[in-house]
Amino acid sequence: MTAAAFSPTGIRFENVEKRYGSLYALRRVSLEIAAGECVALAGRNGSGKTTLLRIAARLVRPAPGEVIFFRSRENGRGDVEAKHVPTGFVAHATMVYDELTAEENLMLFSRLQGIAAPGERVASLLGEVGLSDRRNSLVRTFSRGMRQRVAIARALLNRPAVLLLDEPGTGLDPEGISWLASTLSRMRDEGRTILMSVHGESKISALATRAIRLDAGAVVADTTMGANLHSILTFAGA
């Protein structure tokens, strides 16, 4: 993937709360993710990681609270409307169509986003995720790992300034994990903001420059320090 011009963008969560019925998914979470940070979200199942990522992706509306995207202050710019921030999201579900081929899926989402030269972009990404030879196969014939590769390619189509990943290593084999880690490492070095939920330590979580632990919808630990970062990621149940 070639580095394309983009504006480094940070995310600020202000008193973000979300309830499903009487169950609190998030409790008054306030966080600031600086532009270009690579942040790992850790925590037990049901701790609120997925909800936080879906709120950042604007798929879930917090109540109360808000999510603000902001451009790096070095550029002399402030808050920016979320719809103007190219965002990529890899969720638990693959978010691709089983009845379309890998290429058709990526072309569909490229065209919807108005990506220039979509054919070239799709061919390049299919090559990167190692699916060039299966580009004309229906996604329903793919293994879980191959579907995950298509899902990651879909999230990278618009060269996102902010990348949100919910356990992105799901289903990937060791080779796939290595590819994803090197891709994320390159994106982090380019200054793209990465917020990802992880379970335990892996090649992917090792990329994080900051780790945040959630418990019962609240932030209980937040560090950029090496040893503490390690302890948050390896915390039992994380």
Partner 1 sequence: MALLSNAAILLEKELRTEYRSRELLTTTVVFILLVFMLFSITFHPTGSESQQFGPGLLWMAFLFAASLMLQACFLREQTNDTLSALRLTVSDPFAIFFAKLAASTLFLLLTELFMLPFFAGFFNVRILRVLPQLFVVFFLGSLGIAIPGTAFSAISAQARMRELMLPLLLLPVLTPVLIASTEVTAGLLNSEPAMNYAGLGLIIAFDVVFLTALWLFGEYLLEE
* Contacts with partner 1, residue ranges (CB under 8 A): 54, 57-61, 83, 87, 89, 91-100, 104, 108-109, 111-114, 138, 154
Q: Which amino acid is at 96?
A: V
Instruction: Name the minimum Å distance from CB 145 to partner 1.
Output: 15
> Alpha-carbon distance 172 to 223, whole Å?
28
Whose Cβ is closer to partner 1: residue 151's or residue 181's? Answer: 151
User: Rounded to whole angstroms, what are the CA distances from 180 to 81, 130, 203?
Assistant: 29, 11, 9
Instruction: Name the minimum Å distance from CB 54 to partner 1.
Output: 7
> Alpha-carbon distance 18 to 28, whole Å?
8
Show the tokens assigned to 159: 């060269």
Whose Cβ is closer to partner 1: residue 97's or residue 235's? Answer: 97
Whose Cβ is closer to partner 1: residue 114's or residue 174's? Answer: 114
Whose Cβ is closer to partner 1: residue 1's or residue 112's? Answer: 112
Whose Cβ is closer to partner 1: residue 141's or residue 178's? Answer: 141
CB 10 within 8 A of CB 72: yes
**Coil, strand or helix at 65:** coil
Instruction: Name the minimum Å distance from CB 132 to partner 1.
Output: 22
> Alpha-carbon distance 63 to 89, whole Å?
21
Whose Cβ is closer to partner 1: residue 115's or residue 126's? Answer: 115
Instruction: Name the minimum Å distance from CB 196 to partner 1.
Output: 17
> Alpha-carbon distance 156 to 145, whole Å?
17
Tokens 């630990």: give the residue.
221
CB 166 within 8 A of CB 196: yes
Whose Cβ is closer to partner 1: residue 151's or residue 233's? Answer: 151
Phi/psi region, residue 48 (left: phi>0; alpha: psi -120 to 50; beta: rest), is: left
CB 13 within 8 A of CB 69: no
